[in-house]
Amino acid sequence: ATITQEEREEILRNNFEHTIFSWSKQKGLNPISVERAEGVYLYDHDGTRYLDFSSGLMNVNIGHGNQRVTEAVARQMQQVSYVTPSCVTKVRGELGKKLAEICPGDLNKAFFTVCGATANENAIKLARLYTGRHKILSRYQSFHGASYGVISAGGDPRKIPVDSQQAPNFVHFDIPTAYRWPHAPETLLPESVAQLERIIGYEGPETIAAIMLEGESGTSGCLKYPDGYLKEVRRICDKYGILLIIDEVMSGFGRTGKWFGVDHSGIVPDLMALAKGVTSGYLPLGVLMVSDKIAARYDDTTLPLGLTYSAHPVSCAAALEVIQIYEDDQLIENTVAMGKYVEERVEELKSQHISIGEFRNTGLLGCLDLVKNRITKEPLAPFNAKPSEMGLMNKVAAKLKELGMYTFVRWNLVFIAPPLCVTREQVDEGLAIISEALKIADAECD
Ligand code: PLP
């Protein structure tokens, strides 16, 4: 151990008595007490090593502890750590230019926020201002953040406890997925598109400001869009004068094997929200990328958006360095290769574990969908299950931790989303741990 038992206990006491943990019952928590982190590993105060198989919350894309970022941040802090968002700084302009280069189409201007939620909140605000319409359409089984507007936009059970506080003018639609589509596969796309157009008709297209979708589905279970779906959504948006907001908070910055999830479909959104991988979590930052057409509206009209920490110079410096690291270390290329490798290895695991219903991934944004029965596809824990109701899945999660893995486990899903610098050996190490833990799940399958 690197510290005494007494010091260890004080750390835990301070945390539990004086801080509040997100999305949890505060009693009975047993989190990893992290002392340091490097590459794909976390180390606790006892020196125990954990393989981080979800890159934190699918944000630490370059891996932990990269000293290039530390140095870039320190350099920026020595020069100027904060100025108001009304000032010009070198780093702000350079980051804006770089983002315009890597973002699709005419998304050429960046409005900087502090996180994913604030990027999406501002996207919604701007879409309503620009169109003069009020409704936002979004997907059930999606997540866009936890503040008022975006938790209402999301279709995640995390909003159910605050249901009475939902913001008005959010309408949800369903997008079925191939795995649980009971009809002929070729009907999936046309039915999904027809359903969306019906809802637009019922609501009145002239009332709808924007359709908001994740670039690739994340915490809801990497629920792939039907092939060609996003292209159809873009067409429908253009047909009715509806803006398309794409949330790349989780699917951006190489996670899916391209800069952005939306790059797989070749469409260009009107507004695009970024966060997480933009700094790989080294500092908080969100970005709303705005199309030329929308940005031009504010050439001669006052933009009614702002935050104290918009274009924070130190966060911008972290982002610039992180983006350079994606390029220098060829992390997007590695994501494609490691994504394929994970697919091959999971295919082998499927023959050993009857609890694996499906593995869905794009690059290194992936999860196992665990089922009680491969024919009925009944999930091992129901969508909507509270942590205390996850039964067997809690045992699987505890086993993963006991075997030295940190990863995101939710309902019947086990995420496989390691940092983009992961090696084959580390993938093998992680899948061996998962394989061991899945024996618990297999025992309950029929
Ligand atoms: N959008 C997506 C797709 C996310 O996955 C998340 C967080 O998980 C958010 C937005 C919210 O980002 P933040 O927690 O930085 O507000």
From 115, 120, 143, give the residue whose CB has the most ligand 1 atoms within 8 Å, as the site to mutate: 143
- The predicted pLDDT at position 12 comes to 96
Counting atoms of ligand 1 from 1, which one is nearest the CA of 115? 15
Q: Do the domains 5-62+330-442 and 67-328 sit in the same CATH topology, yes or no?
A: no
Q: Among the atoms of ligand 1, which is closest to the Cα of residue 120?
A: 10
> Look-up: residue for tokens 């084959």?
424
* Bridge partners (DSSP) listed for residue 137: 171, 211
Mutate to test the pocket of ligand 1, among 22, 114, 141, 144 (most ligand atoms within 8 A of CB): 144
**The pLDDT of residue 391:** 82
Closest to 286 measured CA to CA, from 312, 267, 324: 312
CB 327 within 8 A of CB 335: no
Which residue's structure tokens are 């801080």? 19
Low-confidence ranges of the chain (pLDDT < 70): 1
Task: Note whether 212 and 270 are within 8 A (CB).
Answer: no
Q: Which residue CA neighbors atom 13 of ligand 1 most closely?
A: 116
How far apart are the CA of 178 and the centre of ligand 1, in A? 25
| Whole-number CA gyration radius for the chain | 22
In ligand 1, the atom with minimum distance to the C-alpha of 251 is 3
Name 250's bridge partners. none
Ligand 1 center from residue 143 Cα (angstroms): 7
Domain residue limits, the chain: 5-62+330-442, 67-328
Q: What separation in Å is there between the alpha carbon of 144 and the centre of ligand 1?
A: 5
Taking the CA of residue 219 as reference, the ligand 1 atom at the shortest distance is: 5
Residue of 113, 217, 276, 315 best suited for mutating to test ligand 1, as the one with most atoms within 8 Å of CB:
276
ipTM at complex level: 0.99
Nearest in space to 58 (alpha carbons), one of 420, 360, 396, 428: 420
* Measured distance CA(138)–CA(333) in Å, rounded: 31
Ligand 1 contacts (CB < 6 A) are 57, 115-117, 120, 143-145, 214, 218-219, 247, 249-250, 275
Ligand 1 atom with minimal separation from the 147 CA: 16
**What is the distance, to the nearest Å, from the Cα of residue 117 to the centroid of all Cα atoms in its chain?**
11
Q: How far apart are the C-alpha atoms of 222 and 230, rounded to whole Å?
A: 15
* Helix (H) or strand (E) run with residue 115 in it: none
Indicate the pairing of strand 208-214 with strand 135-139: parallel
Q: What is the pLDDT of residue 382?
A: 83
Ligand 1 centre to CA of 60 (Å) is 13
Nearest CA to ligand 1 atom 1: 144
Q: Are 294 and 126 in contact (CB under 8 A)?
A: yes
Topology, domain 5-62+330-442: Aspartate Aminotransferase, domain 1 (3.90.1150)
Q: How far is residue 376's CA from residue 260's CA, in Å, rounded to a whole number?
A: 34
User: Do 45 and 11 touch, CB atoms closer than 8 A?
Assistant: yes
Closest CA to ligand 1's atom 11 = 145
Give the Å distance between the CA of 59 and the centre of ligand 1: 10
Task: Tell me, in angstroms, the distance from the centre of ligand 1 to residue 6's CA.
Answer: 36
d(CA 218, CA 223): 7
Report CA(145)–ligand 1 centroid distance (Å). 5
pLDDT the model gives residue 385:
79
> Taking a C-beta distance cutoff of 8 angstroms, is the pair 94, 253 a contact?
no
Which ligand 1 atom minimizes the distance to the CA of 150? 10
Residue whose tokens read 């309408």: 171
CA of 302 to the centre of ligand 1 (A): 28
Report which DSSP code applies to 161: G
Cα–ligand 1 centroid distance for 3 (angstroms): 34
How many of the other CB atoms lie within 10 Å of CB of 352? Answer: 11
Q: Which CATH entry fits the domain spanning 67-328: 3.40.710.10, 1.10.287.3510, 3.40.640.10, 2.40.30.10?
A: 3.40.640.10
Residue 402's Cβ-side half-sphere holds a number of Cα atoms within 13 Å equal to: 8
| Residue nearest atom 7 in ligand 1 by C-alpha distance | 145
